[in-house]
Structure 1
């Protein structure tokens, strides 16, 4: 999981995922909280406390529960109320960067057959970057009531609320590039990875770059980044045991409201959004009929989004007003044939009907120096800041939206800046809907080699729905499809003291979706979704757990991953300029829809981004008895080989191999009713690239990075 700004997370499994939080884009890896699918990645903040477990599932999902997903699923399961008992805990910590956390829960009995559980969490830290960004300020609360109404019927109702504040995720400059008449010369940034883009040193560095459309150098940022997001949810769960099986019903409602200015990029993005979703899921796990076990289910999901987005790129402002509706209805089943005591055949199927509707509009206002390459006399014309709509610019002589137009850029006294003009794009409007029915399936075989050894193999399909977006030339994109093959073995040896699992996989994608910063057919940069072709991912994973002694635990996980785009092409308008700086070959072309001359880039054969070929996790835990107490020392480390952090394959975007190590020492009584601990994370203090973005207007590349070394102390009590 990767922090992607504004409190959201980007999820990747085996090289599949997405960084961007584009509102029209569904995640490749589904996020499910308390058995409820969460449609927006930004809605995942504030869930990680008082948890029973977190599950990571790999490959296509959808024949057992939830929505479709091509890459996998993350399931966050909270602790449920414990019937008829009083219990709870309080944990707190303090660390560097003035990091404070407080988490706790209390479970109160309501008779012998009911309980109320109240839990909460607060996490706050100063920014990890020098400008105060990449900070944290989250407060969350959850209340649940559960009762065993009859011996066969249990009902649980939960409500949660989280508030996210602070400056949000920040960025740092990686470097710049310049066209030398033949190709591009690259210059690394002189700034350390800890220098945020709003730091005075970074502001001075920014002002040394010439932005071609406006014919002048960049100005410093003046808007202040911030995050304000409030999320609410209500979930119900009813479990009914019958003579023929168990029925589970899960209704849910969620709502969020946000107002943000995000500084994680080399330009600013302001978003005001309201998002609401409803879902209803029913599952029936039947008792065995003959040799068959079975699960059948159905799901309904509806989501609405109203978003006003301003992408402020200094010389250009893009304004988008989005009204999006997504609706999905699905039926699914999983059947297991117990051929013998050791052999099982598994089949699954899902039929889904998705519908998306969009009432969107988008337009761009650009500052242009009309005399380039000769600089404009009026090149000191002010650049744009973040404003609420085009009217907020205060430009009274702008042409009406619709056909587009060009007018002089006037100063506050109504006098034109010499040679500087304003270009207003034609308004892009979408009032359309799209629907698609899809059938996906799963087939597998399981064989118990022994009482503690399992062999299995599966083949399954999945898809991710397409959508609509107000982007010139890219107004619609197609569904993404995957076929995944898996073979593996799970084993326990030596009285369950050794666990050894192996899995090999082969994934084949078609019409793969990528959401990233690109250039539309008007030459305007922006975030949007493209179908870039297909890819092949294959590899193997080994998981090892060893209880070496009663007090020593060892673990080792290793993954080999090969990813390759079989067909990855996209086009960028020429507009009389050199081809953009991209690490892929290109050829001149013409867009078939608009007849606009383009550069067609072919990145086929390249690996997927955020996909290290090797990932190794090692861990050790040693318990040292001390009379009625014990000392528990643990350490874990992760190695990841080099990987691309942006899809343009610019050398700045290649992150080399990294190690990251964490350690903790905990002291507690054998009863486990309290503890005190000290921890350190990222011992190496290595600030590596997580996501990188190319700001082509100014030939700048920026990135978000992981947190630096953090350390502190923790204390907790159970009651």
Structure 2
């Protein structure tokens, strides 16, 4: 039976169940639902997490996890997944083109920006693994919490989780409770935000919860890009027909409109020449504001002034308007059946995404239209063998299908792509914890994963030339750049009408009798056809020991492994890449002191990364090679560091916290190749001319060796400092003052390791003041984020004109929020 049929049958059966459960709702007594917090001892309260697939206090488990609470999400205007990086030092989450988010945890991750590669960080929404990084937004409202699990999750969250997992957990319906809350905010850039939720009982043992959100913002860039038009909704029904059974059915949807920021021009890279020939590359800063978009007239004037030698002329502009028109929806059900010998949990889910978006960056316009479908069924059994032994067993089936078209207009090169890809993954997992003596717990966990993946696609690549690209320079002052058209037929018709030949063989290699010419312009047609499949199997495991020094203090040590399946690239000769693996050693301690008013958690870690996958713009092994975005296995790395989390309540109404991370990263081996087309590569890494054998013959390449460099997106020092002071006003009102700052030291995000593409060390601070009733039934809050207006460089790539198109973090934002609850 296929996963889709199984999920449909499971969800359908649960819908029938809900129809009948209301009839018996009056016959049983309500039972409290959902996790609770332990506040009996006063001071710092425990937060219940599900990092091990069961409800536990975050202070009692031997797992490094950052817990982000709902108030923090609202304070930082977290709308999309990339906004999470402002809240935890271990996570770097950057928005790519359109809805894509790229995740890194402690330097582990990859730039997954298309439908044929998978992220290395597992994103789980409401207990369901989300396969596409384009589908990770539209969920950040009415939440219990967000968990960021640091390190490989090779057992309970095992699929493609070499770096960690992000778990987004919504609030669940509450039995016997009529309640609600709302928040409405307005700020600069005409930023309107809103959230609301209502909980309604439907009899004694059935409850409904409905929630929604909206974010409507004007452009952050001068070219009217970087705006938001987003809304989302969620509906859940929960029932407890008897003391043993509870069932929940959830439906959610979201729409993502507006447009991604086009980026800005950081500077120009110019080759320089001396008496003996090539002398190096010179970087010339533009001095442009980070908010001067690529479609801005001043930016296009600079672009148009740049000479592009391949087409023998200047005059290129960026005029492809970016946009998002993306819709997502999903349905999931959760059944928990508690018996005298254990608890059975079954969760079927089905999700779809219909996405259509355009973006800029190094492109005149990049465009993707994609239909994603995924279905999954997970089952878990949790039980105790005795007072000293508990265990969990589970299995998950995951099926994903993607159907997409894409085009990437780079002024001189345009690939038109059509592809389908599918993933079928089956995994079984288990965990057992043994307490041989009361303070000591020993845990063993394992997971076997089998991944089957298929890819069937065509990428027809068109490359524009003005004669022979070899010196002396040919000039074609009237040769049109690649037109901004929607279809391959339109592209061909455009150049055919001008009498410019489209040929699979460069004209300059043909004799004149065959139409060859050293000076005539032409369009090189280079088809890339990939029809391939992969099967990867891997057993991953975890060993952990925990010793409770007291009721509030413990130490732990663990060793675990992780695995990220291989995948595909639209690249001749290198169309597939192998799985990557990671081994992680952890030594940590979690503590409460000063009568539960000081919390100190510390963790030391060492990760060994093997066969690392790396995604970047590069060249395939065709003859001639084509510019492609590809993933390769580049080598190994070592990542080590220390993580310190502090929370302190010095007085009844004062709360201070600090999260500090120190990272020491190194690529033990990091080798990749770029074509040798005359000038050497622009990199600080050593390089050597060599050759590679390809299906089309031998080509000249540079071997680039970046071994010994630091890992990407891994600042050596990262910390968040936060403070909150509550001031009672009479008996019924209060004022709450909140302030904080985050610091990230310098880091790199590209394999060139160029100094001008280094993200410099940055402080970003925020503050808010809130006035409201003591019971939070009504409040008004004034906030400011990024007080310094520091816009840290996220990354940059050089376009055909030698200009670096870069992106940066959000500018200063400020505004007011009103809200309340009942």
Matched, 1:578 2:682: no
- Are 1:71 and 2:163 matched, yes or no? yes
Cα distance in 2 between the residues matched to 1:174 and 1:374? 30
Q: Which residue in 1 is equivalent to 2:28?
A: none
Aligned to 2:592: 492
Gaps of 5+ in 1: 409-415
Residue 376 of structure 1 deviates from its aligned partner by: 4.0
**Residue of 482, 486, 490 corresponding to 1:384:** 482
User: 1:716 matched to which residue of 2?
Assistant: 819
- The alpha carbon displacement at 1:219 in A equals 1.5
Q: Does 2:275 correspond to 1:183?
A: no
Q: How far 1:177 sits from its partner (Å)?
A: 1.2
Counterpart of 2:736?
632
Determine the C-alpha separation between the residues in 1 that align with 2:495 and 2:501: 13
Worse-matched range after superposition: 179-188 or 586-595: 586-595
Distance 1:110 1:681 in 2: 41
Give the secondary structure class of the aligned counterpart of 1:214.
Answer: coil
CA shift digits 1:513-571 (9 cap, x unpaired): 01111222243222111111111110001111000100111111111101111111101
CA 1:678–1:327 in 2, change beyond 3 Å: closer, same or farther?
A: same
Partner of 2:709: 606
SS in 1 for 2:134: helix
Report how far residue 597 of structure 1 moved.
1.2
Contact 1:101 1:124 in 2 (8 A): yes
| CA positional deviation for 1:7 | 2.4
Structure-2 separation of matches of 1:616 and 1:15: 15
8 A contact 2:568–2:631 mirrored in 1:
no
Residues 1:551 and 2:653 aligned together: yes
1:14 and 2:106 matched: yes
Identify the residue that residue 428 of structure 2 maps to in structure 1. Answer: 331
The 3 A distance-change label for structure 1 pair 423 and 406 is: farther
1:580 Cα deviation after fit: 2.1
- Partner of 2:793 in structure 1? 689
Counterpart of 2:489 in 1: which secondary structure? helix
Out of 615, 629, 640, the residue aligned to residue 718 of structure 2 is 615
Report the counterpart of residue 645 of structure 1 in structure 2. 749
How far off its partner does 1:380 sit? 1.9
Q: Greater share of helix residues, 1 or 2?
A: 2
Match of 1:668?
772
How many angstroms apart in 2 are the aligned matches of 1:551 and 1:356? 55
- d(CA) in 1 for partners of 2:585 and 2:390? 23
- Note the C-alpha offset of 1:400: 14
Cα distance in 1 for residues equivalent to 2:584 and 2:503: 47
Matched ranges for 1:169-248 at <5 A: 169-180=261-272, 181-248=278-345
Residue 516 of structure 1 corresponds to 616
2:358 equivalent in structure 1: 261
SS in 1 for 2:288: coil
2:758 alignment counterpart: 654
SS at match of 2:299: helix
Give 1:375 deviation, angstroms.
Answer: 4.8
Q: Secondary structure at the residue paired with 2:698?
A: coil
2:244 is matched with 152
Inter-partner Cα distance in structure 2 for 1:215 and 1:442: 59
1:36 to 110, 123, 128: 128
SS in 2 for 1:217: coil
Residue in structure 2 matched with residue 251 of structure 1 by the alignment:
348
Please tell me whether the aligned partners of residues 692 and 701 of structure 2 are also in contact (alpha carbons under 8 angstroms).
yes
Aligned to 2:188: 96
Q: Deviations over 1:157-182 (max 9, x none)?
A: 11111111112232111111111112
Q: Determine the structure 1 residue equivalent to 2:232.
A: 140
Q: Distance in 2 between matches of 1:705 and 1:334?
A: 42
**What is the alpha-carbon distance in structure 2 between the residues aligned to residue 264 and residue 151 of structure 1?**
56
**Does 2:633 match 1:531?**
yes
Give the superposition deviation at 1:17.
1.9
- Provide the rounded CA distance (Å) in 1 between the counterparts of 2:254 and 2:722: 33
- Do the aligned partners of 1:403 and 1:427 also contact (CA within 8 Å) in 2? no
- 1:455 is matched with 555
Report the alpha carbon displacement of residue 698 of structure 1 after superposing the two structures with TM.
Answer: 2.1
Higher strand share: 1
CA distance in 1, matches of 2:520, 2:755: 34
- In 2, the alpha carbon distance for the partners of 1:216 and 1:491 equals 66
Q: Distance in 2 between the 1:306 and 1:398 partners?
A: 34
Offset of 1:647 from its aligned partner?
2.1
> What is the match of residue 122 of structure 1?
214
8 Å contact kept, 1:621–1:632: yes
Tell me the distance in 1 between the aligned counterparts of 2:262 and 2:550.
Answer: 52
Whether 2:144 is the aligned partner of 1:52: answer yes
1:540 matched to 2:623:
no
Q: Deviation digits for residues 380-429 of structure 1, max 9, x if unmatched?
A: 21111343332121334899999923469xxxxxxx99944333343221
Cα gap change, 1:231 to 1:398, in 2 (>3 Å): farther
Whether contact under 8 Å (1:35, 1:66) holds in the other structure is no
Instruction: Check whether the contact 1:141–1:162 (CA below 8 A) recurs between aligned residues.
Output: yes
1:377 deviation in Å?
A: 4.9
Retained in 1: the 8 A contact 2:154–2:561?
no
Shift in alpha-carbon separation, 1:308–1:400, aligned structure 2, 3 A: farther
Give the Cα separation in 2 of the matches to 1:299 and 1:680.
44
Mapped to 2, the partners of 1:498 and 1:582 lie a distance apart of: 48
Alpha-carbon distance in 2 for matches of 1:647, 1:48: 32
Secondary structure at 1:612 match in 2:
coil
Q: Retained in 2: the 8 A contact 1:523–1:572?
A: no
Cα distance, 1:90 vs. partner?
A: 1.2
What is the CA distance between 1:193 and its match in structure 2?
Answer: 1.3
8 A contact 1:62–1:332 mirrored in 2: no
Distance 1:92 1:290, change over 3 A: closer
Aligned to 1:439: 539
Deviations 1:421-445 (A, max 9, x none): 3333432212221101111111111
Q: Which moved more, 1:310-319 or 1:209-218?
A: 209-218
SS at match of 1:630: strand
CA distance in 1: counterparts of 2:485 and 2:370, whole angstroms: 15
- Structure 2 contact 641–661 (Cα < 8 Å) conserved: yes
Q: 1:149 aligns to what SS in structure 2?
A: coil
Q: Could you tell me how far apart the structure 1 residues matched to 2:783 and 2:573 are?
A: 51
Cα deviation, 1:566-597, whole Å, max 9, x if unaligned, reads: 1111011213x111212211001111445211
Matches within 5 A, 1:557-576: 557-575=659-677
**TM-superposition CA deviations, 1:130-174 (whole Å, max 9, x none):** 112122111101111111122211111111111111122321111
Structure 2, unpaired ranges of 5+: 1-92, 273-277, 509-515
Aligned length: 710
**Distance change (3 Å), C-alpha of 1:403 and 1:214:** closer
Counterpart pick for 1:165 among 253, 257, 260: 257
Residue 503 of structure 1 and its aligned partner are, at CA, apart by 0.2
Matched position secondary structure for 1:314 = coil
Determine the C-alpha separation between the residues in 1 that align with 2:139 and 2:158.
18
Q: What is the CA–CA distance in structure 1 between the aligned matches of 2:690 and 2:255, rounded to whole Å?
A: 49
Within 1, Cα distance between the matches of 2:475 and 2:387?
86
Q: Call closer, same or farther: CA 1:630–1:73 in 2, change over 3 Å.
A: same
Which TM-score applies when normalising by structure 1?
0.96
Secondary structure of the 1:391 match is: helix
- Dislocated runs of 4+, deviation >6 Å: 397-403
* Cα RMSD, aligned residues only: 2.1
Give the match for residue 412 of structure 1.
none
Cα pair 2:143 2:169 within 8 Å, conserved: yes
Q: 1:462 to 1:377 in 2, by over 3 A?
A: closer
Rounded Cα–Cα distance in structure 2 between residues aligned with 1:149 and 1:657: 56
